[in-house]
Amino acid sequence: MTAGRQLVQIVRKDLRIEARSGEALLVTTPFGAVALLFVPLAVGTDTPLLREIGPGLYWVVVLLFGLLVTLRHSAVETPAQIALLRLSGVHPVVRLAGRAVASALLLLAFELLLLPVTIVLYDPAPHGWPWLLVVLPLVAAGLGLLGTLAGALAQGLDGRTVLGPVLVLPLAVPLLLGATQAPQVAPWPWLLLMLTVDLIAVLALLLGAPHLEEVA
């Protein structure tokens, strides 16, 4: 089996696991929607204020709750499963890349499900919305890659559920800044910033996957 086919099979496996458990879309998404609902309850009916802070709150919720999606593998994948993939001839880069692609797809679905909730609750200004067609995939890919790397680094550690977010959050700050600023001001520098983060994460995965496999 070629590396490309192995990658596709790993992505299908992870998506089937999600379809059976519903952890990301059926559990995390409602909690994200409730988090978006709490702010209007606290602020009140100040429509201009809600319209101004709505986009920023949307991306904060996507970042914080998206970590639960990207780091879910580190809590369920056992060393025996990793050893089985290794014995099956799956290269560490292929295994982590497949996990990152599956996480990015789930994160993109998570973003799209929360978007109408944000529009209904905050009624944000439509200025710059077409740029979301680029921003949403860039953020999903970046978080998927960073979460995969952090999960692999924390694999087998007792404090992996705490260590994973601690590792990802500082690295995801450029994604948060780019996502909030790109639709409002000159988008190209912010899009370039997010693309740079994604490319660095891809390079780190390609170079670090074998070493992370040895650590795991």
Residue 90 is given by DSSP the state -
Q: How crowded is the C-beta side of 139, counted as CA atoms within 13 Å? A: 33
How does the average pLDDT of the chain come out, rounded? 84
pLDDT category of residue 77 using cuts at 50, 70 and 90 = low
Which residue's structure tokens are 């914080």? 64
- Sorted by sequence, the CB contacts under 8 Å of residue 117 that are 6+ apart come out as 33, 36, 37
| Rounded percentage of the chain residues whose pLDDT exceeds 90 | 32
Amino acid at 55: P
Amino acid at 167: L
Residue 131 is given by DSSP the state G
Phi and psi for 117 in degrees, rounded to 5?
-65, -45
Residue ranges making up the domain that contains 123: 3-215
3-state secondary structure of 124: coil
The whole-number pLDDT of residue 88 equals 76
The span from the CA of 148 to the CA of 107, in Å, is 12
pLDDT over 60 (residue 215): no
Q: Are 146 and 166 in contact (CB under 8 A)?
A: no
Could you tell me the two tokens for 144?
């998927």
The whole-number pLDDT of residue 169 equals 87
The whole-number pLDDT of residue 213 equals 67
pLDDT over 80 (residue 79): no
Q: How crowded is the C-beta side of 164, counted as CA atoms within 13 Å? A: 30
Q: What is the pLDDT of residues 85-104, one digit of tens each?
A: 777 778 888 888 988 999 99
Give how many domains the chain has, as a whole number: 1
Q: What is the pTM of this model?
A: 0.89
